[in-house]
Structures are given as structure tokens and as C-alpha cells.
Structure 1
Amino acid sequence: MHSLLVCVSALCFCQLCQAGAGIPLCKDCRVNVIYPGEGKPQQQLPENHQIVRIINDYRRITKEQMEIQDEIRQHRLQVKDFNFIAKVKLENVIRCSAALVGPRLLITSSTCFVNKTSQQLRVLFPGGRTFDIDSIVKPDSCPEISLLLLKSEVSEINPIYLCHQDIQLGINASMMMASPDLSFYGRRHTKIISNEVCQTTFFEEDSVFTTSNMMCAMNSMTPDKCATSPGDALLIDHKLCGINIYGFRCFVNELNGDLYINLSKLQPMIGDLIRQLNVKVGN
């Protein structure tokens, strides 16, 4: 006699092959599938048989419909994985990205809101939710980044964990990007390269400089595909290891690079600031 487990495993295949109702899925099995619907006769179960599944709706879908459903599922996964990404707004204008590292704390680039106060800025999260900023902290030893302390906690969003590892040249990383309204997320696989590449990329801009706290990540050789913004996150092993400082400066057929603050190098300083603010962060 076949086991009940074998019969249940064959359910999906058998339901396509058997058009009738009340037909056992396999010999001597005490399982049935019933297809209810209008115009169908009342279905009687043979003695000692059980209903294991009722099919209420059965229809064919095209390949295009399957692809659309896959895109929707992928987008939902992205929203779940990347919803730590936020946007900093000045009035109704998006200025840069930020990364949620604690229920009330974000890290971003200072270059996108120079000489602005916390009262002038708000933080936008997925779903259109906006939060007021309580204070802006710019560390003296690294003025290129800012910590944004919100007035209230952000619920239902998991902060991104901070990076603690030593970051070497050639290590793989992910550039994170998002549309201004956070309806679309992008990720570019990249690697850490020499800071000399970024010095060449930003050579003609006097206001841009590199320090030992910065690292360079390779961007695209096609300017149309360069889409990073100040405050964008750089992830290594799903942890926040860098914050984009200036955004992209890309040239055709050049080895382009983006400058990021190396958060791993700044761990002692960031830790001290977080303790002073008395807020929780991801480990």
C-alpha cells in the first residue's frame, strides 16, 4: 500500500491530470481533491476518504504575467531588505540619502545640507512617512559625515548593522541607491580600489579632497549608469561599511570611483558619539 505521504506529494501533478471529482489520487489512498464551482454536480466522497485540498480558483497565466508577478515579489523583497535607506528633505526638495542605524539614529553625508539646521530638515522613509530631526551631530574628527537624531523612533523598520571589519583593497561591496521617493532601489556590485582613482575622478573639483578616513569604490565606466548620491550606503556582507560623501562624477571609458567614509575606521569615534546621544544601534 502506498503511504499517505507519497499521495500528498503527488497532489499537484494529479490535480492537473484528473478532471473528475471525487477520484482518489492514487490506489488505496484516503485522500481526495474537490473542485467546487457553479454548474458542477454535488460531489460525494467515497467511504473513508478525506478532503485534503479544495481548489476554489484555477486558471492559466501567461509567461508575461508570471514575469510581472516575479518583479512584484522581487520588489517586495527589496523593500524589506533595503528599507533602512532614507532620504533627507529640505522643505520639499530631496537633498541626499541616509542610513538608519538605530531606531532614532541615521548616518549621512554632511555635504548635502551645509549650514542647515535640524528645524529645516526632515527625513523621509518608505511609504511616505516623514520624521522630524531633534539634532544634527557633526564629529570634529570627521566633518564629512553627520549623525541625525530623530525626535521619535522609527517602527517596523530594521536598522542596518554597522561594519566592524578591516576593509582591504579588492574586497567586494555593494553600492546602494534609491529613487527620491524610495519606490525603487538599486544595487551595484563593486569593489574597493585605490584612493588614487578617486583623486583622478574628482581632480577638477577644488572642494573635493580625500583623507585617510575615506575609501574609493569603483563606479561604472558609462556615465549614464552612474547614479549614486551623497549619503548612499556601501554594504559589505550586509553591513554598513561606508557612506557616500560627494555622489558620483563619471566620465566615458574612465576608471571612475566614488568616495566613501570608511565607517570601520571610525568605530571608536562613532561609538563615543552614540553613547553620548544615549541611543541604541545595530551591532
Structure 2
Amino acid sequence: MHSLLVCVSALCFCQLFEAVNGSGTLCKDCRVNVIYPGRGKIPQQLPENHLIVRIINEYRRVSREEVQYRDEIRLLRLKAKEFSFIGKLRVDNTIRCSAALVASSLVITSTACFSNESPQEIEVIFRNGRTFTVDKIVKPDFCPELSLLHLEVATEIKPIGLCHGDLPLGISASMMMASPDLSFYGRRRTQIISNRACKTTFMEDDSVFITSNMMCALNSVRPEKCGTSPGDALLIDHQLCGLNAYGFRCFANALNGDLYINLSKLQPMINDLIRKLNG
């Protein structure tokens, strides 16, 4: 039965070939060659007069669980590639904050991540454990809440671009979070809300300052779902529009907001500084 199906397929193909070429007879010296591709099998060389090749693949049963597992792995790889610009700062051997790669040798993060550490005490870690040392910390005068870290060696990781233009209240955004070892990325749909909400959220924290360079993004009403850290990214259309300034301060059944440095507003000045520092 198997050989018969192969021959019938070849015959139909030959007839179609001749019909296209205006002839009603089968091609001269028409042959059928069956190839079984698989590991360990030598590729077959075909003579020139073998015009038809019938390829038969080898199949095996795949369980539903295996298909789902493959889909999950594929999704994780896509996320890892999409969010590869996200880094973590290790200060004194402790993962302290997040950061975002904005040029081949520059990351930006929140100034709240540091106290008086020297560049030699800071490392930037990206996915798969790639670690880079820092040789310079820059805190721009136009936004003291923001810090730029210059890496001693440039990376091959694709940096994230900064968004520009106004970010009106109510615009949708993605609040990014990542595990300390960057094995997991979380993304929460959010929107920009009035800074008044953040003033209420951070009211009892004397170390927090809300400036004109900041904006407020809605967080969860459930404190256990609030997992943002200083330096976390706020994305719109996969462009970096905000950088978490202080992390979360969430209360149960409250309108909780996170403060973000408004990179869209500061984009021209930040880009000028990036070009200067990154050469």
C-alpha cells in the first residue's frame, strides 16, 4: 500500500508537469525516488534524469504536555530576547535594583539605588549571568533622581530606545518587573495617573521627593501583587518611557501608585548625555 501511494503521487505529479508544459504524455525517463530524511542516514545523490523526488518525513507521537512545554520554552526565549536590555545592579554582592541598557556601554537607573558607593563596588548583570563592571557614575544636574552608569566594556546586547513626546493621563503602559537572577520577567498593564495618587501613596515616607521630572503609574490594590523595584522600566510600544524611582509602597484597598522618572520628558537632554558618554 505504501509503495502504491508513492507511485500514484509521482504519476499525478508527472501528469501535472506535462500539462503545464503542453504535452499530454508522461516525461521521458521519469523516475520516482523516495528519500527518508533522518539522523545517521546518508543523503542520496540523484541522477539528472530523476525528475521527481518524493520526500517522506519520519513522524513520532508528541504528547500534549510536551507541546505545551515547547510553547512555554519558546515564549520564554522570546521574552528573554525582547527584554534583554533589563539588567540588575549588584552592590556589595547584593542585588539591589534594576537598570536599563540605553547604549552599548551605558545603563540608567534610579539614584535611590546608591548611597556613597564607588563605581568599583557596582556590577551590572544581564541575563545568563553576563556581568559588567562600572567605571563611572554620572548624576545629571537636570535630573538628580537619575543615574547613568558607564560600563568598562561595551556589551553586544541591543539597547532600548527612549520614547519622546507627551504622556497624557490615562495612556496605557507596561510596568516591567524581573526576578533577581533575570530568569523571570513580569509585565503588568497599567496607565499614567495623576501625581496626587502617588503623593497619597508615599505620604508617610520622608525619604521620597516628588519632582516635576516624575510621573505616577497605577499599581495593584493588592499589596502582595506590588513587586516593583527602583530602576524598573515603564514601557510604551517597547520604548523606555519611565524608570521606577523608589520602588513600591502599597496599601490594601487603596489607589496605589509608583513614582517613575519621566524619561519621555527628559529624552532630548538624556540623549545628548548618552552621545557624550558613549562616544
Q: Work out the CA distance in 1 between the residues paired with 2:54 and 2:234.
A: 49
Partner of 1:66: 67
CA 1:152–1:224 in 2, change beyond 3 Å: closer, same or farther? same
Alpha-carbon deviation of 1:23?
A: 4.6
Alpha-carbon deviation of 1:34?
A: 4.9
Partner of 1:110: 111
TM-score, scaled to structure 1:
0.82
Partner of 1:237: 237
Q: Work out the CA distance in 2 between the residues paired with 1:181 and 1:219.
A: 23
Deviations 1:172-225 (Å, cap 9, x if unpaired)? 100111111111111111110011111111111111121111000111111121
Larger Rg computed on CA atoms? 2
Partner of 1:83: 84
SS at the partner of 1:71?
helix
CA 1:36–1:239 in 2, change beyond 3 Å: closer, same or farther? closer
SS at the partner of 1:22?
helix
Partner of 2:172: 172
Partner of 1:13: none
Partner of 1:42: none
Partner of 2:94: 93
Q: How many residues align?
A: 254
Deviations 1:11-44 (Å, cap 9, x if unpaired)? xxxxxxx86673544861258865578xxxxxxx
CA RMSD of aligned residues (A): 2.4
Partner of 1:6: none
Q: Work out the CA distance in 2 between the residues paired with 1:149 and 1:238.
A: 23
| Equivalent residue letter for 1:176 | M
Partner of 1:50: 52
Q: Work out the CA distance in 2 between the residues paired with 1:253 and 1:22.
A: 68
Structure 1 residues 1-283: aligned runs within 5 Å = 22-25=6-9, 28-30=12-14, 34-35=35-36, 50-55=52-57, 57-155=58-156, 157-277=157-277, 279=278
SS at the partner of 2:82?
helix
Alpha-carbon deviation of 1:234?
A: 0.5
Are 1:90 and 1:122, in contact at CA under 8 Å, matched by a contact in 2? Answer: yes
CA 1:35–1:181 in 2, change beyond 3 Å: closer, same or farther? same
Structure 1 unpaired stretches of 5+: 1-17, 38-44
Deviations 1:101-146 (Å, cap 9, x if unpaired)? 0000111011012211101101001110100111000012311110
Identity %: 62
CA 1:256–1:23 in 2, change beyond 3 Å: closer, same or farther? farther
SS at the partner of 2:265?
coil
Structure 2 unpaired stretches of 5+: 15-31, 39-45
Are 1:24 and 1:32, in contact at CA under 8 Å, matched by a contact in 2? Answer: no
Q: Work out the CA distance in 2 between the residues paired with 1:164 and 1:124.
A: 27
CA 1:138–1:52 in 2, change beyond 3 Å: closer, same or farther? farther
SS at the partner of 2:70?
helix
Alpha-carbon deviation of 1:53?
A: 3.1
SS at the partner of 1:116?
coil
Are 1:98 and 1:231, in contact at CA under 8 Å, matched by a contact in 2? Answer: yes
Q: Work out the CA distance in 1 between the residues paired with 2:174 and 2:54.
A: 46
